Chain A
């Protein structure tokens, strides 16, 4: 089903739904925030909507910090249902990839359940984007409840889930639209897909031999400039590794889950000091082998949606495509 929202009605509508829901939008080039009138929709933000599902700090237990205390579980319980508007389709697709692993994780799932995701198609792919090459069709809106396509006069909205349908059932700002509008959506999709085909690289990676890839001699050269900082992992909408830490202030203790980066030496270091991925190149290789071989082999899709944030933000100038190219032409 499709609706239409005139451009000038968007902000008003966001204010309206803010009365019932907790509404988050992209507020600046760096990321999302609660809707307070500010809206940044020009380009995708530096931080993706991943932080709403795998937050910077997820408290999973509380406890009194004394020996023998019993823990009490903590689950995410928002007072109001959350709406996140302006999520890019690639980022939503990223959430569906994480969900393949976190399907039974109650923390991730609670957050998914209590959130409505409203997507917004980009006007143009960004300079570093390559989502289509990773098999992402942004018009399909995977992981989203509704998808907004910007047109001359406003937004054409495609509903994608029962949650989306429920939300839009009684939104007065939106008008139902007929077949013509639907066709314009399909036309835009067709044009996009013709211009942006899936990359043959993925098929080659599926066929590649795991150990040969692992032992390939290109890793050393590719990893040389890598600083083994965690920027790419933190900004990546599909990287999901987490750390668990106990924090105690006075008598109040919390066990928290927080994002972690496989680039760090500490990530794989045993308590004994032994580290199976001690060398920087081993950690570099592991990240890409996970994304483009291990995950691909297991789930049939790479753990990458081609958002290009890593390319855009890597301080050392590493380009993911060059890594994929090396891996797929072995």
Chain B
């Protein structure tokens, strides 16, 4: 199953094999990484929903969700350029060696979802770990019931993984709803915020789980819709983010009450979340 994280805070060297600029604004870039150490590479096994610390020596480390599925040869991370480390990362050319520490965190309990319908709801660039999840689910298609994905972005230019989205659209074993916030030239798909589209799609909460990843405002308005659809708080999974340093439950930056996002999370059910102070 999933390897226990290394406790020594020493990153594996990883080579940037390929980069893909994902969005028109250039702020999102995917990094395809290969671990240099063969043994580490063999042992590295993760679960969708986990993350890793990417490190640019001299700049620092930052936690990024793993966007590749466990079966994929290269580890993939889609990084939003926003801080010191991600800014440095964006400037590195292909072939550069960076550091990688992980996999960290709990990930989605996909075994538990077997036999159930799965609804993935993503907003903006938070789609990354849900991409990993979807790839996994499609690979194990027979184990799951209906799979629905609702994915929204501000405009078409900000949708990630476009070639894959095209391929997924064509599948008849996946209901994919892509939406953008406002009408845009050349867009003939759905228009509206993710909560509204979720309401229209109205997935049933019967024997189903929902995985929701997105900006706080989207989550805030999506949760009541899901509850109305009959999803129980135990069946709604969220992924938290907080500032963190170690990823190992030591440095304590990421605590939400007694819950450490790095170690106890990042994935948490709504039922668990309701027991915590609202510090996320």
Residues of chain A touching chain B, judged by Cβ–Cβ distance below 8 Å, are 60-61, 63, 65, 67-71, 73, 101-102, 104-107, 210-211, 214, 240-246, 248, 253, 255, 257, 260, 262, 267-272, 274, 276-277, 282, 286, 289-290, 293-294, 297-298
Per-residue CB proximity of B7-43 to A under 8 Å, as 1/0?
1111101000000000000000000000000000000
Q: Is the CB of A268 within 8 A of B253?
A: yes
- Number of B residues with CB within 8 Å of any CB on chain A: 43
Q: Is the CB of B57 within 8 A of A65?
A: yes
Q: Is the CB of A294 within 8 A of B255?
A: yes
Q: Which of B113-138 contact A (CB under 8 A)?
A: none
CB contacts (< 8 Å) of A268 on chain B: these are: 242-243, 253, 279
The one of B13, B242, B246, B248 that contacts A276, using a Cβ cutoff of 8 Å:
B242
Q: Is B70 an interface residue (CB 8 A)?
A: no
Q: Is B185 an interface residue (CB 8 A)?
A: no
The one of A73, A102, A246 that contacts B10, using a Cβ cutoff of 8 Å:
A73
Q: Is B60 an interface residue (CB 8 A)?
A: yes
Residues of chain B touching chain A, judged by Cβ–Cβ distance below 8 Å, are 7-11, 13, 57-62, 82-84, 86, 92, 95-99, 216, 241-243, 245-246, 248-253, 255-258, 275, 277-280
Q: Is the CB of B257 within 8 A of A271?
A: no
Q: Name A282's closest neighbour in chain B (CB-CB).
A: B279
Between A and B, 24 residue pairs with Cβ closer than 8 Å are A60-B8, A60-B10, A61-B10, A63-B57, A67-B96, A68-B96, A70-B97, A71-B57, A71-B99, A102-B250, A107-B9, A214-B257, A240-B252, A241-B251, A241-B253, A242-B250, A244-B9, A244-B60, A244-B61, A244-B251, A268-B279, A270-B242, A276-B242, A290-B255
Main secondary structure of the interface of A (DSSP, over half): mixed
Q: Is the CB of B96 within 8 A of A262?
A: no
Q: Is the CB of A243 within 8 A of B245?
A: yes
A282, chain B: closest CB distance, angstroms: 7
B280, chain A: closest CB distance, angstroms: 5
Q: Name A293's closest neighbour in chain B (CB-CB).
A: B258
Q: Is the CB of B11 within 8 A of A71?
A: yes
The one of B57, B82, B279 that contacts A286, using a Cβ cutoff of 8 Å:
B279
Q: Is the CB of A269 within 8 A of B59?
A: no
Of B11, B255, B280, which is in contact with the most chain A CB atoms at under 10 Å from its CB?
Answer: B255
CB contacts (< 8 Å) of B279 on chain A: these are: 268, 276-277, 282, 286
CB contacts (< 8 Å) of B58 on chain A: these are: 63, 65, 246, 248, 253
The answer to whether residues A104 and B242 also contact, given A246-B60, A248-B58 and a CB cut-off of 8 A, is no
CB contacts (< 8 Å) of A244 on chain B: these are: 9, 60-61, 245-246, 251
CB contacts (< 8 Å) of A214 on chain B: these are: 257, 277
